[in-house]
Structure formats: C-alpha cells, structure tokens
C-alpha cells in the first residue's frame, strides 16, 4: 500500500519522543557524561590492571582524568550546553570544574578503599556518582554559563 504525500509530510513534521527527550539539557548531560564516564572508567581500569601495582590507584585516577577531560570538553561544549565559546578560557573554566571534581575524588577514593576496605574499581565506581553531580552543577553554572548557540 502506498502512503500519500500528505501522510509522509505529517509524519516527518512530528517530533519523535527521543528527539523531545534529547532537547532536555540534563538528559544530554547524563548521556554524554555516561559515555565520558565509561571512557574515564575504562582508562582507570586499564591503567589499574596493567600498571596499577607499580603506580598506585591515585596515579591511575589522575591519568584517567587527564585522558577523559579533553573528550569531555568537546562533547559537553558541542552537544550538551551548545556553547559558542572557543579558545583557552572556556577550556580553563572547564578544567577548573574538573579540578574540583578530582579533588573530591582524591578524598573519596582513598576513604572508600582504606576506610571501607572496598576494592579500588568498586570505590571509583561509587565516587563517580558524587563527582557527576558536582560536575553538572559546575559546568552548568560556571563553565558554560555564557550565551548558548542553538
């Protein structure tokens, strides 16, 4: 059965539920954050399993943050906050939010490993919950507070 041109035009005009959902900034933040968190956690895991016994879990944490921060900046700027900001200053603002998150993570990770005797991979997974919330607030109200593009 052939569809009429009017039916096709109407169906193309409707917004899909997924597209409507992706219009919400917090949803985009969580999706991009999930991708970036998975990347950062994969880097942490790879470092921990390969050289962690030689450099320690905090060094693995710092190296994984350094690797993930560049990808995060590009994704958050373009897809989440849709910022037109370019250059070094926005990246420095972005990095400063990650320094705060890293400081929180630096306290939380040993506290969970030593204080609660969790394995470093489990402790890091738990710390990600807190640092994610801090990261969103910092990026939303500090890093990408400038005028956004559409």
Question: What tens digit of pLDDT does each residue of 54-103 get?
Answer: 999 999 999 998 989 989 888 988 888 887 777 788 889 889 998 999 99
Contact between 149 and 82 under an 8 Å Cβ cutoff? The reply is yes
Who's near 120: CB < 8 A, 6+ residues apart? 48, 52, 57, 60, 109, 113
Q: Round to the nearest angstrom and report the end-to-end CA distance of the chain.
A: 39
Quick one: CA torsion of 6, 8, 14, 19, rounded to 10 degrees?
A: -160
Question: So what's the pLDDT on residue 99?
Answer: 92
Q: What is the pLDDT of residue 84?
A: 77
> pTM for the full model?
0.68
pLDDT bin (cut points 50, 70, 90) of residue 3 is low
User: Cβ distance 128 to 37 under 8 Å?
Assistant: yes
């Amino acid at each position: 059965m052939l569809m009429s041109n009017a039916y096709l035009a109407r169906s193309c005009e409707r917004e899909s539920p997924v597209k409507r959902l992706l219009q919400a900034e917090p949803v985009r933040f969580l999706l991009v954050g999930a991708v970036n968190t998975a990347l950062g956690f994969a880097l942490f895991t790879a470092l921990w399993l390969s050289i962690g016994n030689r450099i320690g879990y905090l060094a693995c944490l710092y190296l994984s943050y350094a690797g993930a921060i560049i990808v995060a900046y590009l994704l958050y700027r373009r897809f989440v906050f849709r910022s037109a900001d370019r250059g070094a200053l926005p990246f420095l603002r972005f990095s400063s939010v990650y320094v705060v998150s890293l400081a929180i993570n630096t306290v939380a990770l040993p506290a969970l490993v030593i204080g609660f005797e969790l394995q470093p991979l489990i402790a890091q997974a738990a710390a990600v919950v807190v640092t994610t919330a801090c990261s969103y607030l910092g990026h939303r109200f500090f890093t990408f507070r400038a005028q956004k593009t559409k």
